[in-house]
Structure 1
Amino acid sequence: MLVLPAAASAQAPGTDKSGGAAYAEPTPTPTPPPPPADITVPGAVAQILPDGSAAAPAAAPPQVQQAIFAANKIQAMPYVYGGGHGDFEDDGYDCSGTVSYALHGGGLLDSPLDSGSFMSWGERGKGLWITVYTNPGHAYAVIAGLRLDTSAASVTKSNTRKFKKALERGPRWRPTERSSRGFKARHPLGL
């Protein structure tokens, strides 16, 4: 009679199939910072906060407040040519993608537009709360008195002492107005 040993239920020392290497626990992916809180300030004019986000005016209609809160969510995003054109959620935004994102957040735009398409969007002229300034090559918005722009045009170093992000490229609230020469002004109906 031939007797064969039964298979061991536990591995014998030194027979670890991993080669004896200890595997480190994977490093957890850092959690991205939460989006800025939806903050309002008294009055009818938005204000840039020290972190670069904006506080919406309490007197503004809900669509205007929501457009500001939406734009706050992309303030740290980079400038990417064509960003925000295919989908509102993107890895970066260009000028019209930035404006589209804010307007969509306010329930004022169903699909992204490019700069040229904004030239016939909405109503002609300046709005009471929101104005989109556009030409075939660039678009920016003024929402409740605050400029949302990927360009730092008209921003100087003296303007950025309080608002460090104002000179950065990409979707940012800008502390200064810029010339609207060469742009058409458009606005959402009633705003």
Structure 2
Amino acid sequence: MPRLPSRGTTGAAAAFVTSLVLTLPVGNAYANGLSGAAAAAVTPTITAASATTTKGTRATIKADGTATVPEDAPKVVKRLIAAANEIIGKPYEWGGGHGTVVDDGYDCSGAVSYALIGAGLLDSPLASTGLMTALGEGQGRWINVYASAEHAYLEVADIRLDTSSVGDASGLSGVRWRPVIGQRAGFTVRHGDVS
């Protein structure tokens, strides 16, 4: 069973992935103007459990719903997938992941924010409208966040992190890795690719 992050912890946490050690930097809410309990509630330590690696640049969805980490992907991609694996299977909960990053359930933007925080790309959770302007503008090679005023999802290494079952024959609800669907009408695309 993975260790759950404690509230109010800042800095980096070590996460062990099969034959790969990942350091998951987390946001610093204090630097973003928050203090006290408010900062503690949104500044997590994300510790990712073991994840299976796969050769190449494409992640795959395993039978348990978690994703493999592609060996040839950049470290930020590996960190994002390992972090998101920690919340796979959590139920959809409106507002989940916003009052506290580590939560019992997640809404769409809470799940996307969790993964991006785990990858070191965000400091704190954003609503879907905030994700419409976060990160780099346009399409990226590795990490793409699709957001509208009503919904957000991300695609990374040929899989999609989403709470919506659109395009997913399984029809399962909650936070899941799903097949990619690309950019839907009315969604902006932002990328999290780093050199």
Residue aligning to 2:77: 64
3-state SS in 2 of match to 1:141: strand
Residue aligning to 1:94: 107
Structure 1 stretches of 4+ with a deviation exceeding 3 A read: 33-36
Kindly report which structure 2 residues correspond to 1:41-190, keeping only aligned pairs within 5 A, or say none. 41-156=54-169, 160=170, 167-177=171-181, 180-190=184-194
Residue aligning to 1:9: none
Looking at structure 1, the residues matched to 89 and 184 of structure 2 have their Cα atoms a distance apart, in angstroms, of 25
Looking at structure 2, the residues matched to 176 and 117 of structure 1 have their Cα atoms a distance apart, in angstroms, of 22
Looking at structure 2, the residues matched to 181 and 43 of structure 1 have their Cα atoms a distance apart, in angstroms, of 31
3-state SS in 1 of match to 2:80: helix
Q: Indicate conservation of the 8 Å contact 1:119/1:134, yes or no.
A: yes
Larger radius of gyration: 1
Looking at structure 1, the residues matched to 83 and 126 of structure 2 have their Cα atoms a distance apart, in angstroms, of 16
Q: Indicate conservation of the 8 Å contact 2:109/2:126, yes or no.
A: yes
Unmatched tracts of structure 1, length 5 or more: 1-32, 161-166
Looking at structure 1, the residues matched to 177 and 193 of structure 2 have their Cα atoms a distance apart, in angstroms, of 23
**How much does 1:179 deviate?**
5.1
Amino acid at match of 1:180: R
Looking at structure 2, the residues matched to 58 and 124 of structure 1 have their Cα atoms a distance apart, in angstroms, of 26
The alignment-based identity, stated in percent, is 47
Q: Indicate conservation of the 8 Å contact 1:149/1:172, yes or no.
A: yes
Amino acid at match of 2:116: L
Q: Indicate conservation of the 8 Å contact 1:46/1:146, yes or no.
A: yes
**How much does 1:69 deviate?**
0.7
What do you get for the CA RMSD once the two structures are aligned? Answer: 1.6
Q: If the length of structure 2 is used for normalisation, what is the TM-score?
A: 0.72
